Amino acid sequence: MTAVSRIHNTSLHDKVISAEQAAAMFTDNMVVASSGFTKAGDSKAVLNAFAHRVQEEPMQITLVTGASLGHGTDGLLAKSGALSLRFPFQVDSLLRESINKGDVFFIDQHLGETAELLKNGHFPKIDIAIIEATLIEQDGSIVPTTSVGNSAVFAQLAGKVIIEINTRVPLALAGVHDIFMTGSYRSHAIIPVTSPEMRIGSTSIAIDPEKIAGIVITDIVDSPAEIALPDASTKAIAAHLLTFFNQEVEAGRLTQSLLPLQAGIGKVANAVLHGFIESDFEALTMYSEVLQDSTFDLFDSGKLLFASGSSITVSGEYYERIFADFDRYKDKIRIRPQDVTNAAEVIRRLGIIAINTAIECDIYGNVNSSHIGGSNMMNGIGGSGDFARNSYLSVFVTQSAGKGNTLSRIVPMVTHVDHTEHDVDIIVTEQGLADLRGLAPRQRAKAIIENCAHPDFRQALTIYFEEACERGGHTPHVLEKAFSWHTNLAEFGTMKPVDVPANAVDF
Amino acid sequence: MTAVSRIHNTSLHDKVISAEQAAAMFTDNMVVASSGFTKAGDSKAVLNAFAHRVQEEPMQITLVTGASLGHGTDGLLAKSGALSLRFPFQVDSLLRESINKGDVFFIDQHLGETAELLKNGHFPKIDIAIIEATLIEQDGSIVPTTSVGNSAVFAQLAGKVIIEINTRVPLALAGVHDIFMTGSYRSHAIIPVTSPEMRIGSTSIAIDPEKIAGIVITDIVDSPAEIALPDASTKAIAAHLLTFFNQEVEAGRLTQSLLPLQAGIGKVANAVLHGFIESDFEALTMYSEVLQDSTFDLFDSGKLLFASGSSITVSGEYYERIFADFDRYKDKIRIRPQDVTNAAEVIRRLGIIAINTAIECDIYGNVNSSHIGGSNMMNGIGGSGDFARNSYLSVFVTQSAGKGNTLSRIVPMVTHVDHTEHDVDIIVTEQGLADLRGLAPRQRAKAIIENCAHPDFRQALTIYFEEACERGGHTPHVLEKAFSWHTNLAEFGTMKPVDVPANAVDF
């Protein structure tokens, strides 16, 4: 089968061009949109060609995506100086460095909101969208690949569309997608999902064929997800959480099939999902963003009935295995636009159990998911806020300490707030689990310090909390010491009490 | 007409008891729920009688409501030491003092979430609910008074229900309510509101008559809302916002009827609503929480077509006038449960323009709505987070400085985050308006400092921001100085640079 046979609409055959020809359409200051969600289904040929072009011919674009692109794209674009503004998410070390230097402007955005903001005209109009495709249907509509992300709304809003047909993607992916358009004001649609498996849309992205400016054939595989196997610490977190779920079942609040699960990316969330395999829970479902290796392990174990997400982001080994026999999974999966997977109304209606990773939590349960030391961007908030805000249960997991126990991930006050204490129900570290439901701030502080803090930091947290309570307040703080742990870390390399000059801030 | 004629179900006539008899049903550690939303439609007889009983016979209850109760209730209960835990909102000075001392535990909660948390069993079971009523229907169902709040879910979940029939409430209120139950997992309902005026429920609250433990007759009027007439500063804020809305109409993003409006309580929001009366905008609608004096002025001016809310909270003068001729407004109003008025899905679907008041904003657009000096609770987050998070446009208004310009309401870093920068689109002070849409943090800081900060503080904010940028970061901060403005205020009575000892933190 030839590559062009994936273009079922033969009138489009003469639109096939090279990646370099496609990249030549970009001009300085353009707003470019690309498919791609957590490294899955991104533009790997055209954006790469553009990054190379810019090295000879400097220019800058605004780049909007579903979520992060692969390392070959976001990193190379940043290195080439090709980006002026990037949103809504990234995970690349080179791009991150440019963002933190102030060389690239970055908008850190709830992943469920980008489509809405674009439709509302709150951002400039998209000039060109690049969408990776498995194939083009007879009617010209696009069957996406391993992600949907914001591709459907990009196809709708962009002036021109370039399609990257990826011949490495198995044709079996066709049919797994569920494309639903949420509409615009004043005729915004109800998103009618009432169970994770419910199909509400079509299997391909409708597009005006006149807008197709070029079709590029590629065979570059998605950047693989990095594998992080469970270790003693992440297994302990998983065990605490499973014990808690068992208690909830005993209390009659949940059943053995729990409620639909969402799990963020990362080794802790991965360990938690693996923990279910050995558990008594059964007939589980997922209504998540990213379907990872652990999702397929859960399918294979028979524990998981269905999974909805916006991408399949797996390791190289799993990619080969899953797509060699995709029909085995196809009926158990739907890949949807991220304004459907992350929709507040669906998350509330289904009663999601949301499990996300914190960079740090404070003693009152505020969570920082995005910043290091208050100033430096790590990856972004991603979809964690979409899920935490409207879930049945909002769980945040983190290891209690890091960097050889020089830093505590439970701190007096987080240096950046992504999730306010109103939206955080459960905090779990390898030390234990704090159930914050129904607790006032002073009670939350005790529960978090006692259950979650690392023993090396527990006393210092208690001293801070007691001093704060002596001053009074609903959420007692000692403002001049609230960040002393972080400034100590920056200055002395540890949050622990150190021999410091007498005039320095103590704790 | 006698009071008892408001009980259309005659088999309930023998359940009439005194407020003191009702209050005698409470025992130590009970969980009590009461109707009432921003001082409207609260239990004014039974809770008052209980507060008096506790003065003789000490005991404590958990009290959950819709939102704030009147001063005669929350204040008296706090003074009597009758409360161990209170949620989800309050505005009383005596109760606030007890909360900040740590004598009363308080859970500051999104007003749209309380019903959900109760239904999910995340809080202890409600023993007794007290619901103020206009009348009891033949089928035993309850017609509420000036608010709905959480009353419907209280009636559903409580073991016993006490009804307070308030004979001062006009019978014309019957028919204005729209009671819809959102259901429980796994059969959570779609909330089908697609326009502000759409009726989705019934006009009264269904209840199992067996649960009615007593009916108390009262004639105590709601605590009146405090009136804050527009002044030069709040009029300037309104003018900036109206200019912005006009620009949005010119840009084709909005029409002359805008999108449904939500406005928080307070003199700034009130001034903004009054600003519409003299404007060219027309055929406006509201999908809000609280219908205030300004709502009725907008009706009278012909500018407002319809208003949906969870309560009618007006001044004494307006109360008399509105309810003397309520049929004039009745068809233009629906009073609904707060998990419908504040539902994420409806707010997103209708495209609400949300206008709420900030206590302070920081240079990156994070907003503090609830705390003074990081520790002390003012009122609570209320519904501001429900609306800001999912609105079409999230606007926060505040005066740029306060207390004789000794404190800036634009600060380097807010001491408590209720609304993260992701959820804040527009900040307005009397100095001007910062449109933050599509801006990265460093751009947001410039827009906020230039447009919103008071001139007395603008230079100091710029110095902080520039020092932070020299250190670098996506959201540059100087952690050891981030709260120096607040610690200076506490120590020296001003955020302005003062002659301080050489070793003190400078700015």
Per residue in B260-287, pLDDT (tens digit) is: 999 998 788 888 899 999 999 999 999 9
pLDDT at B466: 98
Classify burial at B211, counting beta carbons within 10 Å of its beta carbon; exposed 0-12, middle 13-18, buried 19 or more: middle
pLDDT at A293: 93
Interface test with A, best of B474, B489, B495, B506 (most A CBs within 10 A): B474
Q: Is B268 annotated as a binding residue?
A: yes
From chain B residues 145-174, the ones with a CB under 8 A of any chain A CB are none
Beta-strand ranges (E) seen in B105-159 are: 105-106, 128-136, 142-144
Site from A479, A480, A486, A488 to mutate, B interface, most B CB atoms within 10 angstroms = A479
Which residues 190-229 of A have a C-beta within 8 angstroms of B? Answer: 190-192, 194
Residues of B in contact with A352 (CB under 8 A): none
d(CA A491, CA B462): 25
For A423-448, write each residue's pLDDT tens digit. 999 999 999 999 999 999 999 999 99
Partner residue facing B190 (CB), from A85, A109, A349: A349
- pLDDT of B497: 73
Spatial distance between the Cα atoms of B423 and B293, rounded to a whole number of angstroms: 28
Do residue A375 and residue B259 have CB atoms under 8 angstroms apart? no
Interface test with A, best of B349, B393, B481, B484 (most A CBs within 10 A): B349
State how far residue A153 is from chain B, nearest Cα, in angstroms.
17
Per-residue pLDDT for B507 more than 80? no
pLDDT value for A503? 46
Question: Which residue in chain B is spatially nearest to A339 when comparing CA positions?
Answer: B348
| Cβ contact B188–A377 (<8 Å) | no
Contacts of A502 (CB under 8 A, 6+ apart): none
Q: Which residues contact A27 (CB under 8 A, 6 or more apart)?
A: A59
Positions in chain A whose pLDDT score sits under 70:
1, 498-507
Among chain B residues, the shortest Cα distance to A441 is held by B107
Other C-beta atoms lying within 10 Å of the C-beta of residue A125: 10
Say whether the ipTM exceeds 0.90.
yes
Residue A139 and residue A177: Cα distance in Å, rounded? Answer: 17
Residue B162 corresponds to which tokens in the numbers above?
A: 């006490």
- Interface contact flag, A474 B375, Cβ < 8 Å: yes
A-chain residue closest to B345, CA distance = A345
**Are the beta carbons of B425 and A185 separated by less than 8 Å?**
no
Tell me if A447 sits within 8 A of A434, measured CB to CB.
Answer: yes
Q: pLDDT value at position B476? A: 98
Instruction: Please name the residues in contact with B210: beta carbons below 8 A apart, sequence gap of 6 or more.
Output: none
Q: What is the pLDDT of residue A502?
A: 43
* pLDDT score, position B1: 58
Are the beta carbons of B376 and A472 separated by less than 8 Å? yes
Residue B330 has pLDDT above 80, yes or no: yes
Quote the distance between the C-alpha of residue A198 and its chain's center.
22
Q: Catalytic site residue B116? A: no
Q: Does B446 touch chain A (CB under 8 A)?
A: no
Are B422 and A505 a contacting pair at CB < 8 A?
no
Which has the higher per-residue pLDDT, B226 or B320?
B320
Cα separations (Å) of B340 from A387, A477, B24, B485? 19, 35, 34, 40
Q: How many Å apart are CA B167 and CA B134, to the nearest integer?
A: 7
Question: What pLDDT, on a 0 to 100 scale, did the predictor assign at position B506?
Answer: 40
Chain B residues with CB inside 8 Å of A108's CB? 422, 474
Give residues 110 to 149 of A whose Cβ lies within 8 Å of B: 110, 113, 116-117, 120-124
The string of DSSP codes covering B333-398 is EEE-BHHHHT-HHHHHHHT-EEEEE-SEEETT--EESSEETTTEESS--TTHHHHHHH-SEEEEE-
Contact A105 B479 (CB under 8 A): no
DSSP secondary structure letter of residue A149: B
Predicted confidence at residue B79, as pLDDT, reads 96
Q: Which residue has the tokens 């005209």?
A: A121
Cβ A474–B100 below 8 Å, yes or no?
yes
- For residue B109, the chain A residue with the least C-alpha distance is A422
Torsion, Cα B439 B445 B447 B450, to 10 degrees, reads -170
**CB-nearest partner of B253 from A120, A189, A477:** A120
- Above 90 in pLDDT, residue B9? yes
List active site positions of A. Answer: 289
> How many A-B residue pairs are in contact by the CB < 8 A criterion?
220
The CA-to-CA distance between both ends of chain A, in Å, stands at: 69
- With a cut of 80, say whether residue B122 has pLDDT above it: yes
Under an 8 A CB cutoff, do B259 and A443 touch?
Answer: no
A268 is in an annotated binding site: yes
Please tell me if residue A502 touches chain B, with a CB cutoff of 8 Å.
no
Chain B positions touching A364 (Cβ under 8 A) are none
User: Is it true that the peptide bond before B253 is cis, omega within 30 degrees of 0?
Assistant: no
Q: Is B11 on the interface with A (CB under 8 A)?
A: no
Strands (DSSP E) contained in B178-253 are: 212-218
CA dihedral B164, B166, B167, B168 (to 10 degrees): 170
Provide, as residue numbers in chain A, all residues whose Cβ is less than 8 Å from the Cβ of B374. 473, 475, 477, 479, 482
d(Cα B453, Cα B432) in Å, to the nearest integer?
8
Q: Is B159 annotated as a binding residue?
A: no
Chain A residues within 8 A of B480 when measuring between CB atoms:
483, 487, 505
B252–chain A Cβ distance below 8 A for any pair: yes
Mean residue pLDDT of chain B comes to: 95
Q: Under an 8 A CB cutoff, do A190 and B259 touch?
A: no
Q: What domains are defined for chain B?
A: 1-351 (3.40.1080.10)
Closest approach of A236 to chain B, Cα-based (Å): 25
Determine, for residues B415 and A117 on separate chains, whether the beta-carbon distance falls below 8 Å.
no
How would residue B505 be classed by pLDDT, with cut points 50, 70 and 90?
very low
pLDDT at B503: 45
Contact between A212 and A161 (Cβ < 8 Å): yes
DSSP reduced 3-state for B466: helix
For residue B374, say whether it is annotated as part of any ligand binding site.
no
Tell me what pLDDT residue B498 has. Answer: 64
Contact predicate B242/B275, CB 8 Å: yes
The answer to whether the beta carbons of residues B97 and B106 sit under 8 Å apart is no
Q: What is the DSSP letter of B188?
A: P
Partner-chain contact B186 A121, CB within 8 Å? no
Q: How buried is residue A169: exposed, middle or buried, by Cβ count under 10 Å (0-12/13-18/19+)?
A: buried
At A129, give phi and psi (nearest 5°). Answer: -115, 140
pLDDT at A498: 64
pLDDT at A66: 97
Give me the DSSP letters along B394-421: EEEE--SEETTTTEESEESS-SS-SB-G
How many C-beta atoms lie closer than 10 Å to residue A403's C-beta?
Answer: 10
Say if residues B336 and B309 touch (Cβ distance below 8 Å).
Answer: yes
pLDDT at B500 > cutoff 70: no
For residue B232, give how far its alpha carbon lies from the nearest alpha carbon of chain A (Å). Answer: 30
- Determine which one of B289, B360, B421, B430 is catalytic: B289
Instruction: Record the pTM.
Output: 0.96
Is residue B290 a contact partner of residue B38, using CB atoms and an 8 Å limit? yes
A295-302, long-range: CB < 8 A, 24+ apart: A296/A322, A296/A329, A297/A273, A298/A273, A299/A329, A299/A332, A301/A277
Tokens of A270: 């991965």
**What average pLDDT does range B187-191 have in this prediction?**
93
Cβ within 8 Å of residue B226, ≥6 positions away: B315
Beta bridge partners of B235: none
Render the burial of B353-372: b for 16+ CB within 10 Å, e for the rest. Answer: bbbbbbbbbbbbbbbbbbbb
Residues β-bridged to residue B149: B337
Range from A47-56, B68-77, B91-100 carrying the lowest mean pLDDT: B68-77
